[in-house]
Amino acid sequence: MVEFHITNAKRFVLLVGLVVLRGGVPTAGGRNNASQVIQLRDACGVVGVCLTQDSTRDVFPVLYYALYALQHRGQESAGISIFRERMITKKGMGLVSDVFTNAFTSVLEGKIGIGHVRYSTTGESDIINCQPFVVSSEGREIAIAHNGNLVNVIELKRELQKEGAVFISTSDTEVIAQLLAREMRRRDELEAISFLMRVLRGSYSLVILINDTLYAIRDPYGVKPLCIGRLEDGYVVASESAVIDTLEGKLMRDVKPGEVIIIRDGEMESQRLYKLNTKAHCVFEYIYFARPDSIIDGKLVYDVRMKIGETLWDEHPIDADIVSPVPDSGITFAIGFSRRSGIEYLEGLIKNRYVGRTFIMPAQRERELAVRLKLNTISSNIEGKNVVLVDDSIVRGTTSRRIVDMVRACNPKSIHLRIGSPPIKSPCYLGIDMPTREELVASSRTTDEIARVVGVDSLGYLSIDGLVDAIGMGEDDLCLGCLTGVYPMEIPGEKCKAIQARLSNYII
């Protein structure tokens, strides 16, 4: 299903109809609808592009290829908003190639625009929750794309509803859009954005198009990545630097936590509105989410993952014949493990890269077939050998067990599992779709007990110290909440780093 619309102030007032709030702040026990989760998934990817007025090309194909480069961050829906005298938005369910067809390219003309790919962490999987969200305020049109998750969305939404706001979606991004539209009726754009950053609690990297001006915003904790690149004929901001490489641009730098980048008429300026003494970069960007060829906060993800693999060998050596990754996320870890250990790297599992996403199946047999559809074994590489399997994480343990069972059916001598993250013991509230604490296999079990659950001869997790060392940042500059149960901001019912607990710690 695809939605295509041209927005303006008159049309916006027709978008009426109140929906029941079904997303929002999770309880201390974990996320809403967690039973539907089968693996870690990030919220989204965002991109914004501003070309010079004398550029010989339109912005649509630039945004299109940028979203292709971010497809790994979300396969649920995709959308693009472009401003040229008015805001034109095209969005729909599915992959980038599913949503954008030649029939629409001639309509999406202009020099400035934003784009989004989505996997939901709040809000339902529905066309109404596709981004960018577009609203109007005092004759100005606003399009917003968001990567992250708010933990105070319920209270913000109730406040807006008391003032008469009407919501058409269940996504926290619409709350951000409505808040910004309200504040722009009271103050100028930058002051409205400053207010927004003061009241939003959670993680957010935002690209906002207000008429012909592009704003890129990163929350003061810097939880989600965002970077700036220079094109031959303009600028690009994106969730990952791989986008800039794809567009043959040059990476300039990361957007600083609490910073606002402003791009208009081919010129860029910045304002650091808020600053904390420490940061809270998401460690799972380095473990799983980001492309290995991306540079996140000055660190090449590939190098971090290689060092994780090497550290896994240092912490959990084993006598084995082959090192085999669980593709694709375990590949770089396994290379590092093999290089440090001297054990041969040999693939025992092959991924079908044309499957796309698989959903939860109602019956056990169907779930097993879904795993088989995505992975197949090379029996001759496994049979009679001591095998080290390397993967990025264990969530519930059910998928790991099915993979181990597939490998076990090839008659290896032994199977040893090495995991490129510490045990996931607590839920994430800041943008990872993750099960409740009760469903996390490591929340109440020892490593030996988990090894028996997944059916391996030995199990070794990366230590937190090993992870911090591999990333190359101080522990106080990383969000380790899902690993330690201590979060960088106040979340009801959870422990919080006292140094960053309250708004009063902001330096304006």
Q: How far apart are CA 127 and CA 2, in angstroms?
A: 7
Beta strands in 414-468 (DSSP E): 414-419, 432-433, 458-461
Q: How far apart are CA 58 and CA 49, in angstroms?
A: 10
Q: How far apart are CA 47 and CA 68, in angstroms?
A: 11
Cα torsion 399, 400, 401, 403: sign: positive
Q: Report residue 488 as tokens.
A: 């960088």
Q: How far apart are CA 31 and CA 429, in angstroms?
A: 7
Map 476-501 to HEC letters.
Answer: HHEECHHHHCEECCCCCCCEECHHHC
Burial status of residue 383 (CB atoms within 10 A of its CB: 0-12, 13-18, 19 or more): middle
Q: Tell me the pairing of strands 414-419 and 112-118.
A: unpaired
- The closest alpha carbon to 65, from 265, 231, 218, belongs to 231
Q: For residue 114, give the DSSP letter.
A: E
Burial status of residue 458 (CB atoms within 10 A of its CB: 0-12, 13-18, 19 or more): middle
Residue with tokens 């105070």: 152
- Residues contacting 410, CB < 8 A, separation 6+: 348, 377, 379, 382, 383
Q: Provide the residue type at 23 as one letter.
A: G
DSSP three-state, residue 309? helix
Annotated catalytic residue within 44, 50, 479, 482: 44
Q: Largest Cα–Cα distance of the chain, in whole Å?
A: 72
Report yes or no: 147 and 163 within 8 Å, Cβ to Cβ.
no
> ∠ at Cα 45 (259, 429), nearest 5°?
75
479 counts as catalytic: no
Active site residues: 44
